[in-house]
Amino acid sequence: MTDGLTADEALRALAALEAAFKDDDEALTALAASGPGERPLPALVAAYGEHAMDTLMALAFGLRATMSDEEIAEISDAVSSNIGARMSALLTQTLKAWGTLAPSEDLPVIKIIAHTVIDAMRAVTEDPSKTEVLPLLATFRSYALNGT
């Protein structure tokens, strides 16, 4: 997994996003009880949000693994000049800062961060108003399980 997230972290973050979406405080409480060496849940959900947004932005701008360095540079320039992409980066930066400062078991904060991540993910899909959250999260879970 990229962006400093392990597959286990990605799966834990996705489980937290799903629990927040379903308003399942019991599941969120269990996920927030991090063990030794685990990231606190608010920081993990925010970091996963950055990973998800980076992935969706790359897809939105047509990034493919088979592109040449020149093509990647062109896309990088297009992303840098796009206000939506810049705002997305600012959003994820803010969420990461907030997630780092939040108490690890603060469910209201975890829920707000999770819902913001979900809304941001939906915002960059083809038709945000029709994008269903659980299938979207299932797609990302599939990617995490496959190590991409």
Q: pLDDT per residue over 1-57, tens digit each?
A: 445 899 999 999 999 999 999 999 999 999 999 888 889 999 999 999 999 988 888
SS3 100: helix
Give pTM, 2 decimals. Answer: 0.86
Query: CA-to-CA distance for 8 and 21, rounded, in angstroms?
Result: 20
Query: CA-to-CA distance for 75 and 39, rounded, in angstroms?
Result: 32
Q: Quote the number of domains for the chain.
A: 1
Q: Give the domain extent around 106.
A: 5-144
Instruction: Specify the higher pLDDT residue, 147 or 2.
Output: 147
pLDDT at position 2 is 44
Q: pLDDT per residue over 84-129, tens digit each?
A: 888 888 898 999 999 999 988 889 999 999 999 999 999 888 788 8
Q: What share of the chain is helix, strand, coil (3-state, %, to 5)?
A: 70, 0, 30
